[in-house]
Structure 1
Amino acid sequence: MYLNWDKIMRFNTNLKALDLGAGTGWLSAFLSQYNNIANIDVLDSDEKNLNLMLPEVVRIMGGNMSKINPILGLFQPLLVGDGHYDLIVASSALHHADNLFSLMRELRRVLRKGGKLYILNETPYPFIRY
């Protein structure tokens, strides 16, 4: 399925976003280019991804590093209040969760009412090893 980000972003302003399990931050770099995005918390458990790769990926992709807040940590607990985020994105990340059901409850907690959660590039059967 193709997401039309221009259409998604057109209806919202000053969005607070979370990129969960961001890896090198390519999705954050992309989203940071939108005027509607106020800031993006970029959460990953790999310090090298956040400190070395993320700034370079943002630069190469023409993103806006001033909107990006790198956070070294795990999926849970998310150290923000209830309803903190307008937008949560997770690309190729959720299969790393220790407990997917618990994580989904946590994401629902931190997502504001009417907020959006986009899960991208996820394997439908994470318990099957290749």
Structure 2
Amino acid sequence: MSTLPVVVAVDGSDDSLRALEWAVDAARRRSAPLRVAHVRQYAHWAQPEFLAAGPADPQDDPVLDRVRAHLEGRADLPATEYLGLEGATSAMLPELGATAQLLVLGSRGRGGFAGLLLGSNSMTAA
């Protein structure tokens, strides 16, 4: 059995929270750890091809705070890690998926200004 994590990308949208629920169940069924990732790309508007290699502080991320609150008190959670990253979602998410047994994404992300400020998983296809 693989010990690679199930990775779920969140952006704070309702769709990403549904993806989170799906990923929690998938990790539990696989006896795998869960890795919750939020990619903030607002620092890279000027150079979207630029990829930041280092993680941001996951303790200073309102999207991850919302996810923690959403999962708080759940007894059925697998071992969970939270990652706050900065970079282009189109580059970061495939990189995260390469180190996972499963990468879970929502079908839609944030749009408009919130998507530009907080990042959006749906921008990965851009």
Higher RCO structure (Cα 8 Å, ≥6 apart): 2
Bigger strand fraction: 1
- TM-score range relative to shorter protein: 0.3 to 0.5
Question: TM-score w.r.t. structure 1 length?
Answer: 0.45
